[in-house]
């Protein structure tokens, strides 16, 4: 995170002189609306002549080559299908429907039935959906990707990929790096707003999901070449600061001389000031006035505010360092100068109304209005969020703004997004264009009793303590296993520490991320640190085993990449190879739907497929040793990238 000085400077900065609302034409200028999907797929021109049910297509070969090398396999096939669709039914604009096939082929084009419903009765020469499917298959441009096609039932076009092309794609990745498999997303810049604890309050297990999920989304988008602004929207400007500052002044009049020692444990300090606030009306009145003096810029209050924020931030950093999470802080205070003119703009559009002394925006479909100025004249979450959104759209030029909070805040975001659409800041609800906003909701972390995860004293679980325990348990398990199998002598103390940390922290992250984020999940150290089933520990063992296979071969994999070749003659080799090259579209799906568990599922399935391959295909000492070692290496590389996307440090021996 940036130092507080940046935020403090921003607070004191002059308010903008003019509001510039985001123009929807930005979307068209940058080519990032859904309607541009076809143009992104079709990177080369083709000419088509239609004669009844038969269509011939000619493609410039050099242009075809440059196209099929970009994007995921699904994106590349979609580009070929798109050209076929334009040749088959030039009068109908339709997006390609390409999906992984479960039974009859590798991929399947499912456009025929939808097209039939659009063209039947219009004098078309096609007799039924199957005839359209036959034409789509016939009009597919010649490509090294496709081995064969067939048409089934009501026009489903089954596509079998070329073994040679799949093998070459894997080998190219090994030579040029996994980054060449990054998917192509329809945005160039995104804001991901996550973690967002409140200053002066300890991070606890309730912040765990936002931090882990947000970091994984950021990593996936960054891998996909999106410029990600990782925003920590901390609560650093609320009414609690009047309470904290007045308590500090009262207890330690010379607090500036003794510095951080005046506050000591911030959690104890917060509880003591809160108790005083709740039970002493005179102190409460002073605290409320203290907020006004702070927000008015009084130097003594600003100084105390900065000190409290600094102490709190250093405690947050301990957690972020353990989790290996990077954030840039722009808290509530940063956006405060922008609020008045943002509200003035909304008011000029007739959106803000007076209601019971407050200023509100009435949102269709909601019984209660969105309050943007409280009856006492103060600002709130909605006013800050509107100012932050304005800033992110206009100053930071973000095309996708993603908020990661618990599902309990869904209504707030629904209303807040609706207000932005009413203002013309965002496309309307039926327009599938950018810029856009998304709320990434998540469920609760539960204890074994099915209730919100807390300590025995009903206190929330401190995140630092939880992570320390995960590492401690992981180290204990590792020491026991290494002692029992006599391998403890092969490990240094540093290796034990690093591996225990990687496995322990990784187990906590994976146990969260493997679930659909919308559901609650039960926190269990025993379950997450198990080396059996779909756990991070099991996957770490699977990765370490692959590394061990390669080491025991005594072959230089870097040399094999350049001199060897991959073949996929055995059925289990082909299954593994085909699943490897689907990595990019899995990441694309996870980004599109904002679901990290999609990557977890892929990673677990990949480890299972590798196990089957290794069981049925001898590697070291076989005639196919070079090819199979390269498949082992490719699997390890993809697994490591999955770990990286999930914020998990892979281990190379266990």
pLDDT in tens, 168-189: 999 999 999 999 999 999 999 9
CB 549 within 8 A of CB 474: no
> Tell me, what's the pLDDT at 252?
86
Closest CA to 460 of 203, 193, 199: 203
What tokens does 92 get?
């109908």
3-state secondary structure of 134: helix
Task: Let me know if 102 is exposed, middle or buried by CB neighbors in 10 A (0-12, 13-18, 19+).
Answer: exposed
For residues 229 and 253, which has the higher predicted lDDT (pLDDT)? 229
Binned at pLDDT 50, 70 and 90, residue 286 comes out as very high
47 beta partners: 58
Alpha carbon of residue 438 to chain centroid: 12
> Tell me, what's the pLDDT at 521?
87
Q: How far is it, in rounded angstroms, from Cα 420 to Cα 414?
A: 10
What tokens does 463 get?
């995140």
- Checking if the pLDDT of 24 tops 70, the result is no
- Checking if the pLDDT of 484 tops 50, the result is yes
Closest CA to 85 of 127, 119, 35: 119
Q: If residue 439 lies in a helix (H) or strand (E), which one and from where to where?
A: strand 436-442
DSSP 8-state code for residue 198: B
State the average pLDDT over residues 638-648: 98
> Tell me, what's the pLDDT at 371?
95
3-state secondary structure of 450: coil
Rounded alpha-carbon distances, angstroms, from residue 36 to 41, 94, 433 = 9, 12, 10
Binned at pLDDT 50, 70 and 90, residue 70 comes out as low
Closest CA to 56 of 95, 86, 94: 86
Q: If residue 426 lies in a helix (H) or strand (E), which one and from where to where?
A: none
Residue with tokens 């609320």: 238
- Checking if the pLDDT of 254 tops 50, the result is yes
Percent of the chain residues topping a pLDDT of 70: 87
State the average pLDDT over residues 423-449: 90
pLDDT tens across 592-626, in order? Answer: 999 999 999 999 999 999 999 999 999 999 999 99
Binned at pLDDT 50, 70 and 90, residue 63 comes out as very low
Average pLDDT, the chain: 86
Q: How far is it, in rounded angstroms, from Cα 239 to Cα 518?
A: 31
229 beta partners: 191
Binned at pLDDT 50, 70 and 90, residue 642 comes out as very high
Beta-carbon-side half-sphere exposure of residue 525 (alpha carbons within 13 Å): 14
- Checking if the pLDDT of 35 tops 60, the result is no
Q: How far is it, in rounded angstroms, from Cα 129 to Cα 113?
A: 5
State the average pLDDT over residues 622-642: 97
> Tell me, what's the pLDDT at 460?
66
Residue with tokens 């079998």: 160
CB 66 within 8 A of CB 43: yes
- Checking if the pLDDT of 64 tops 50, the result is no
- Checking if the pLDDT of 61 tops 90, the result is no
Binned at pLDDT 50, 70 and 90, residue 121 comes out as confident
What tokens does 394 get?
């206009």
> Tell me, what's the pLDDT at 428?
84
CB 323 within 8 A of CB 315: no
Q: If residue 339 lies in a helix (H) or strand (E), which one and from where to where?
A: helix 339-348
Task: Let me know if 23 is exposed, middle or buried by CB neighbors in 10 A (0-12, 13-18, 19+).
Answer: middle
> Tell me, what's the pLDDT at 422?
95
Closest CA to 53 of 1, 114, 129, 111: 129
Binned at pLDDT 50, 70 and 90, residue 346 comes out as very high
Q: How far is it, in rounded angstroms, from Cα 182 to Cα 225?
A: 7
CB 651 within 8 A of CB 503: yes
pLDDT tens across 192-224, in order? Answer: 999 999 888 878 777 889 999 999 999 999 999
Q: What percent of the residues of the chain are helix, what percent strand, and what percent coil, each to the nearest 5?
A: 55, 10, 35
Listed in order, strand segments (DSSP E) in 3-78 are: 46-51, 54-59
CB 399 within 8 A of CB 435: yes
Residue with tokens 């924020």: 309
CB 215 within 8 A of CB 194: yes
Confidence (pTM)? 0.86
Binned at pLDDT 50, 70 and 90, residue 455 comes out as low
> Tell me, what's the pLDDT at 33?
36
Alpha carbon of residue 82 to chain centroid: 29
What tokens does 568 get?
């996929």
Binned at pLDDT 50, 70 and 90, residue 490 comes out as confident
How big is the CA angle at 144 (ends 140 and 148), to the nearest 5 degrees? 55
> Tell me, what's the pLDDT at 261?
67
Binned at pLDDT 50, 70 and 90, residue 59 comes out as very low
Please, which contacts does 158-165 make with residues 24 or more away whose CB atoms are closer than 8 Å? 158/101, 158/104, 158/105, 158/107, 158/108, 159/77, 159/98, 159/101, 159/105, 159/106, 159/107, 159/108, 159/109, 160/105, 160/106, 161/73, 161/106, 161/107, 161/578, 163/567, 163/568, 163/569, 163/574, 163/577
> Tell me, what's the pLDDT at 1?
33
Residue with tokens 């927000």: 295
How big is the CA angle at 100 (ends 94 and 103), to the nearest 5 degrees? 125
pLDDT tens across 551-564, in order? Answer: 999 999 999 999 99
What tokens does 177 get?
């790096």
Beta-carbon-side half-sphere exposure of residue 186 (alpha carbons within 13 Å): 23
Q: Which domains can be identified in the chain, with CATH numbers?
A: 73-161 (3.30.1360.70), 193-236+238-326 (3.40.50.620), 331-433 (no CATH), 510-646 (1.10.730.10)
């Amino acid at each position: 995170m940036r130092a507080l000085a940046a935020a403090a400077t921003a607070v004191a900065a002059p308010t903008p002189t003019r509001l510039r609302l985001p123009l929807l034409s930005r979307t068209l200028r940058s080519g990032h609306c859904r309607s541009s999907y076809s143009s992104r797929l079709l990177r080369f021109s083709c000419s088509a002549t239609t004669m009844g049910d038969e269509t011939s297509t000619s493609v410039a070969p050099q242009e075809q080559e440059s196209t099929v090398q970009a994007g995921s396999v699904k994106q590349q096939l979609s580009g070929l299908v798109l050209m076929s669709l334009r040749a088959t039914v030039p009068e109908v604009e339709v997006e390609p429907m390409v999906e992984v096939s479960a039974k009859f082929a590798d991929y399947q084009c499912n456009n025929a039935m939808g097209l039939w419903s659009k063209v039947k009765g219009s004098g078309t020469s096609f007799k039924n959906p199957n005839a359209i499917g036959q034409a789509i298959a016939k009009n597919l441009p010649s490509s090294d990707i496709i081995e064969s096609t067939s048409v089934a039932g009501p026009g489903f076009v089954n596509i079998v990929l070329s073994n040679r092309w799949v093998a070459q794609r894997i080998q190219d990745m090994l030579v040029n790096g996994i980054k060449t498999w990054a998917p192509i997303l329809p945005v160039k810049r995104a804001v991901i707003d996550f973690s967002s604890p409140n200053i002066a309050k300890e991070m606890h297990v309730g912040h765990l999901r936002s931090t882990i999920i947000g970091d994984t989304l950021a990593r996936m988008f960054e891998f996909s070449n999106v410029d990600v602004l990782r925003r920590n929207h901390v609560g650093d400007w609320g009414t609690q600061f009047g309470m904290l500052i007045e308590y500090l002044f009262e207890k330690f009049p010379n607090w500036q001389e003794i510095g951080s020692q005046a506050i000591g444990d911030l959690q104890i300090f917060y509880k003591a000031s809160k108790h005083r606030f709740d039970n002493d009306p005179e102190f409460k009145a002073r605290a409320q006035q203290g907020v006004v003096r702070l927000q008015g810029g009084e130097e003594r209050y600003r100084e105390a505010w900065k000190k409290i924020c600094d102490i709190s931030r250093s405690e947050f950093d301990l957690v972020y360092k353990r989790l290996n999470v990077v954030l840039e802080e722009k808290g509530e205070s940063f956006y405060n100068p922008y609020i008045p003119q943002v509200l003035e703009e909304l008011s000029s559009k007739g959106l803000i109304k007076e209601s019971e002394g407050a200023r509100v925006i009435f949102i269709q479909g909601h019984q209660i209005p969105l309050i943007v100025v409280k009856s006492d004249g103060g600002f709130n979450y909605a006013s800050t969020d509107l100012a932050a959104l304005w800033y992110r759209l206009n100053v930071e030029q973000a095309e996708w703004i993603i908020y990661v909070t618990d599902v309990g805040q869904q209504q707030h975001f629904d209303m807040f997004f609706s207000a932005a659409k009413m203002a013309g800041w965002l496309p309307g609800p039926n327009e599938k264009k950018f810029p856009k906003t998304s709320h990434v909701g998540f469920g609760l972390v539960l204890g074994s009793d099915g209730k919100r995860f807390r300590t025995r004293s009903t206190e929330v679980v401190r995140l630092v303590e939880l992570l320390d325990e995960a590492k401690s348990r992981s180290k204990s398990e590792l020491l026991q296993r290494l002692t029992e199998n006599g391998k403890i002598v092969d490990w240094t103390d540093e290796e034990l520490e690093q591996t225990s940390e990687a496995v322990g922290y990784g187990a906590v992250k994976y146990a969260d991320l493997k679930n659909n984020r919308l559901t609650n999940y039960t926190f269990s150290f025993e379950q997450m640190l198990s080396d059996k089933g779909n756990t991070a520990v099991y996957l770490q063992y699977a990765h370490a085993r692959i590394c061990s296979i390669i080491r025991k071969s005594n072959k230089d994999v870097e040399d094999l990449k350049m001199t060897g070749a991959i073949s996929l003659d055995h059925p289990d080799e082909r299954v593994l190879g085909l699943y490897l090259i689907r990595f990019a579209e899995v990441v694309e799906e996870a980004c599109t739907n904002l679901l990290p568990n999609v990557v977890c599922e892929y990673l677990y399935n990949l480890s299972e497929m590798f196990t089957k391959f290794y069981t049925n295909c001898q590697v070291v000492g076989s005639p196919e040793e070079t090819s199979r070692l390269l498949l082992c290496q490719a699997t390890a590389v993809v697994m490591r990238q999955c770990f990286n996307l999930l914020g998990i440090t892979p281990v190379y021996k266990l």
